[in-house]
Amino acid sequence: ARWLPTNLKVILGVNVGLSILGYIAMASISRTLGDTFIKANLRGIDLNKQTTKRDADGNLVRPIEGIPIPESQGTIAAAVYILLLSVFIPFAFARENLELFPHNEMAEYLAAVLTITFASFMGFADDVLDLRWRYKIPLPFLATLPLLLVYYANGNETGVMVPNQLRWLFGDAIDLGVFFYAFLLILAVFSTHAINIYAGVNGLEVGQAVVIAGSVLLLNIIQLHRIPDQYKNYRDSHVQSIFLIVPFLAVSMSLLRLNWFPATVFVGDTYCYFAGMTLAVVSIIGHISKTMVLLLIPQVLNFLYSCPQLFSFMGIPCPRHRMPAYNASNGTVCNSYAEFKPTELKPLGLLVFTVLKSLRLVHLKPGKEEGSVMMSNLTLINFVLYVMGPCREDVLCLRLLMLQLGSTFLCFSLRFGLASYIFDV
Ligand code: UD1
Ligand code: MG
């Protein structure tokens, strides 16, 4: 490869060593600063635990006497991660002979750090200020531009391979040009938010990120060993991607231990945005952005299913929290609902509601008011509860993570099984 030094194994060893430090630092800083976060009002009450007060119908009334636990611990994860990446720079890029200094690769790396840092900063602002959606969409869009410019400048191609069977028509590859950049921008904005709206169960936010990041790491390692010599330029992009993903996995796994049921900390929007953007960035740098879409299948499904509630113009209400409800009598979590009168929906909302109802994609029960219905909230979490029934919170989290693993298996079998029949890979 162009810039990879001969002692790559040593450098990867340093990367892993720093990551282990990150794993330890994440947990110990969180333990030390927990009270400081609580004092700064960065705290939350676990809504699905005994301390939560429910009325006779099992609806959440108001958390009482719940003991607040530190929120926004993703701030620590992101800070540790960004500092690790800074410390790693001299190991990865310093060369004795300055003429061999890998400026291009370092520019790519720095753009990645800048983009991830901005996303984390926006997450922190969201934790503290509760930003409006009208700001939350364009901001990650702007933050991704430096990375895309570097991608462009480094001559990274924007083509997609054409299946063998269609090559007589389209040629070997189609250059998507500017549309490919549009796709990368949308991927970055989507994945920044996708984790945050697939949340509300202890361990789920970090758990999904760990599964996806683990898959990305595995994919990069496999690719690194499979690449034929004529494509060896791609090797450095996989190595760059590994440099960024290993420390991310380390801080995330450390945070997962603290956030796993029963959670002792919450990760906050900071973690969700930090993780989402990191995954987008490593997939752009590692040239696996199309594969990333497959790894994000649960997040895509959750987003599509959520749309009727997210777009308020349909008239379907979106409660502040759509996480599962808690059944205090047996300690399980069950569906949470949104109540509305179908007759008061906007035409499009009514159409969507009728489709969801007739395809039995939601659980419905009569509402408390005359003519109103209770519809299970439109999240993948609620859908899994509806299909598989109530269970303890950690069991639910495991089921959802199995689903995530399922999309990893699908992704790998398409990538390495099916794809070899239709592409020359
Ligand atoms: C998003 C979801 C919301 C979900 C919430 C849970 C959308 C549009 N928004 O909102 O439906 O309820 O995440 O994170 O889908 N909490 C728990 N247990 C957990 C995680 C969180 O009780 O395992 C509670 C805590 O009180 C915590 C709060 O949720 O303080 C954090 O919510 P926040 O991240 O601010 O919600 P949003 O991201 O706005
Ligand atoms: Mg959140």
pLDDT digits (tens, 9 = 90+) for 11-49: 999 999 999 999 999 999 999 999 999 999 999 999 888
Query: Span 354-374, mean pLDDT?
Result: 96
- Give distance in angstroms: CA of 75 to centre of ligand 2: 13
What is the pLDDT, as a whole number, of residue 58? 59
What is the pLDDT, as a whole number, of residue 23? 98
Residues with CB under 5 A from ligand 2 (ion): 196, 269
What is the pLDDT, as a whole number, of residue 175? 83
The reply to whether ligand 1 has any atom less than 6 angstroms from the CB of 201 is: yes
Report whether the peptide linkage leading into residue 324 is cis, meaning its omega lies within 30 degrees of zero.
no
The reply to whether ligand 1 has any atom less than 6 angstroms from the CB of 48 is: yes
Q: pLDDT (tens digit, 9 = 90+) per residue, 295-318?
A: 999 999 999 999 999 999 999 999
What is the pLDDT, as a whole number, of residue 1? 47
Lowest mean pLDDT among 35-39, 170-174, 328-332, 391-395: 170-174
pLDDT higher than 50, residue 344: yes
Asked if the ipTM is above 0.95, the reply is: yes
The reply to whether ligand 1 has any atom less than 6 angstroms from the CB of 197 is: yes
- Give distance in angstroms: CA of 138 to centre of ligand 2: 18
Report percent pLDDT > 70 for the chain.
Answer: 93
By most ligand atoms within 8 Å of CB, the mutation choice from 271, 321, 333 for ligand 1 is 321
Helix H, strand E, coil C: the string for the chain is: CCCCCCCHHHHHHHHHHHHHHHHHHHHHHHHHHHHHHHHCCCEECCCCCCCEEECCCCCEEEECCCCCEECCCHHHHHHHHHHHHHHHHHHHHCCCCHHHCCHHHHHHHHHHHHHHHHHHHHHHHHHHHCCCHHHHCHHHHHHHHHHHHHHHHCCCCCEEECCHHHHHHHCCEEECCHHHHHHHHHHHHHHHHHCCCCCCCCCHHHHHHHHHHHHHHHHHHHHHHHCCHHHCHHHHHHHHHHHHHHHHHHHHHHHHHHHCCCCCCCCHHHHHHHHHHHHHHHHHHCCCHHHHHHHCHHHHHHHHHHHHHHCHHHCCCCCCCCCCEEECCCCEEECCEEEECHHHCCHHHHHHHHHHHHCCCCCEEECCCCCCEEEECCCHHHHHHHHHCCECHHHHHHHHHHHHHHHHHHHHHHHHHHHHHHCCC
Query: Span 271-287, mean pLDDT?
Result: 96
The reply to whether ligand 1 has any atom less than 6 angstroms from the CB of 43 is: no
- Give distance in angstroms: CA of 379 to centre of ligand 1: 12
Taking Cα atoms as reference points, which of 288, 255, 248 lies closest to residue 84?
Answer: 248
Mean pLDDT of the residues in the chain: 91
What is the pLDDT, as a whole number, of residue 66? 67
Residue 269 banded pLDDT, cuts 50, 70, 90: very high
Amino acid residing at 162? V
The reply to whether ligand 1 has any atom less than 6 angstroms from the CB of 31 is: no
- Give distance in angstroms: CA of 47 to centre of ligand 1: 9
pLDDT higher than 90, residue 57: no
Q: Which atom in ligand 1 lies closest to the alpha carbon of residue 47? A: 22
- Give distance in angstroms: CA of 382 to centre of ligand 1: 14
- Give distance in angstroms: CA of 269 to centre of ligand 2: 4
Q: Which atom in ligand 1 lies closest to the alpha carbon of residue 49? A: 22
Q: Which atom in ligand 1 lies closest to the alpha carbon of residue 201? A: 23
Q: pLDDT (tens digit, 9 = 90+) per residue, 60-106?
A: 555 555 688 999 999 999 999 999 999 999 999 988 888 888 898 99
What is the pLDDT, as a whole number, of residue 151? 87
Residue 161 banded pLDDT, cuts 50, 70, 90: confident
Selected residue with higher pLDDT from 415 and 199: 199
Residue 319 banded pLDDT, cuts 50, 70, 90: very high
